[in-house]
Amino acid sequence: MGEYSDFERPCLAAKTPRQIGGELSKQISKEQRKLIHDFFGGGVEGAEAALQNLSKGGNLPQGLTRETLETYSKIAQNAIDGGVDKIGTQAARLKAIQEALKRTE
């Protein structure tokens, strides 16, 4: 039980970028989602401000984990690759995440 035949196996390729992003998002706890929101703020401007803040030596929200940053990185990359990121919000967030991940090594 719980195993799929090759025919029955769920296929990520058959899912839309939004569906995949939604599934990845479910891996992030409510508390971590709040911290991600605190980090990015809203839209492209918020993500650019987060990157600028980090570039000037600013800190990440206390408690924001590397695991959450890595998961959100996948969400952002999926949106970019899937053509969903029309105005560049996820691209800006991905740049901020990449900078943040350098600090958590």
- pLDDT, one tens digit per residue, over 19-36 is 877 888 888 999 999 999
Contact 96, 47 (CB under 8 A): yes
- Record the pTM: 0.79
Name the pLDDT band for 4 (thresholds 50, 70, 90). Answer: very low
pLDDT digits (tens, 9 = 90+) for 84-96: 999 999 999 999 9
pLDDT of residue 18: 78
Nearest Cα neighbor of 43 from 85, 5, 3 is 85
Helices (H), the chain: 17-25, 30-40, 43-55, 66-81, 89-103
Report the distance separating Cα 44 and Cα 52, nearest Å.
Answer: 12
Tokens of 16: 């839309």
Contact 93, 72 (CB under 8 A): yes
Where are the chain's structural domains?
A: 17-103
Name the pLDDT band for 11 (thresholds 50, 70, 90). Answer: low
pLDDT digits (tens, 9 = 90+) for 49-103: 999 999 999 999 999 999 999 999 999 998 999 899 999 999 999 999 999 998 7
- Residue 5, pLDDT above cutoff 70: no
Nearest Cα neighbor of 60 from 37, 27, 30, 91 is 37
